[in-house]
């Protein structure tokens, strides 16, 4: 059986629409560059689809595994408590299972963006834009 991976980009969410647009555009860019994956975006607060709704959107896609990745710079309560609870992750392994299309599908959870040279370059680029 060939593995078909779904990637769930998880954003914080906001009452302002720009937050959703940014995370949704990141998910769309990943989908465009990597069409062999099924990409969804979900949000923790004030924005739809919620993470739970985004997980439900994997129904009918044939995915056999979900990799959830927070589109957050750093760890906080959502990363350490809320998202692991929603994804039903085992605290020891950081892995879980959810039901998709009547099948148990493994779920893994990535780390927040954190420090990365590409992010530092982007911050510098944004600074030079306004110099």
Please give the positions annotated as active site. Answer: 12
Q: What is the DSSP string of 86-125?
A: HTTEETTTTEEEEEETTEEEEEEE-----S-HHHHHHHHH
Which positions ≥6 away from 66 have C-beta within 8 Å? 5, 6, 7, 8, 55, 58, 98, 100, 105, 106, 107, 108
- 71-95 CB burial, b ≥16 within 10 A, e <16: bbeeeeebbeeebbebbebeeeeee
């Amino acid at each position: 059986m060939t593995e078909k991976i779904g990637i769930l980009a998880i954003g914080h969410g906001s009452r302002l629409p720009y937050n959703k647009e940014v995370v949704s555009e990141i998910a769309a860019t990943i989908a465009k560059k990597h069409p062999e994956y099924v990409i969804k975006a979900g949000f923790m607060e004030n924005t739809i689809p919620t993470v739970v709704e985004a997980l439900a959107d994997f129904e009918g896609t044939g995915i056999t595994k979900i990799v959830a990745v927070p589109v957050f710079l750093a760890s906080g309560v959502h990363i350490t408590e809320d998202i692991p609870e929603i994804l039903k992750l085992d605290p020891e392994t950081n892995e879980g299972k959810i039901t998709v299309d009547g099948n148990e599908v493994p779920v893994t959870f990535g780390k927040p963006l954190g420090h990365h040279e590409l992010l530092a370059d982007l911050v510098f680029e944004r600074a030079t834009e306004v110099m």
